[in-house]
């Protein structure tokens, strides 16, 4: 799930309807100006993919900050 960095991942726990997003999503801020970052078009693709995942029953996001 490239976002903040090209290697960002999101871990899903469908049993608890949770995802663990690290720095990729959920904190309210994304740092895309520090290297290495994924290109904006890649980040937008990740946002679209995350929207689909959330709509399939994920109700909680545990992010890396806040």
Domain ranges of the chain: 11-63
- Confidence (pTM): 0.71
| pLDDT at residue 22, rounded to an integer | 73
Chain center to CA of 55: 14
Gap between the Cα atoms of 8 and 50, Å rounded: 13
Whether 48 shows a pLDDT value over 80: the answer reads yes
Predicted confidence (pLDDT) per residue in 2-25, tens digit: 877 778 888 999 999 999 887 767
Q: Where are the beta strands (DSSP E) in the chain?
A: 11-13, 18-22, 60-63
Gap between the Cα atoms of 32 and 60, Å rounded: 24
Mean pLDDT across the chain, nearest whole number? 81
């Amino acid at each position: 799930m490239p976002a903040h960095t090209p290697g960002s991942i999101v871990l899903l726990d469908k049993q608890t309807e949770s995802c663990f997003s690290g720095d990729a999503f959920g904190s309210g801020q994304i740092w895309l100006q520090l290297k290495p970052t994924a290109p904006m078009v890649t980040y937008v693709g990740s946002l679209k993919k995350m929207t689909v995942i959330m709509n399939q029953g994920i109700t909680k996001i545990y992010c890396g900050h806040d």
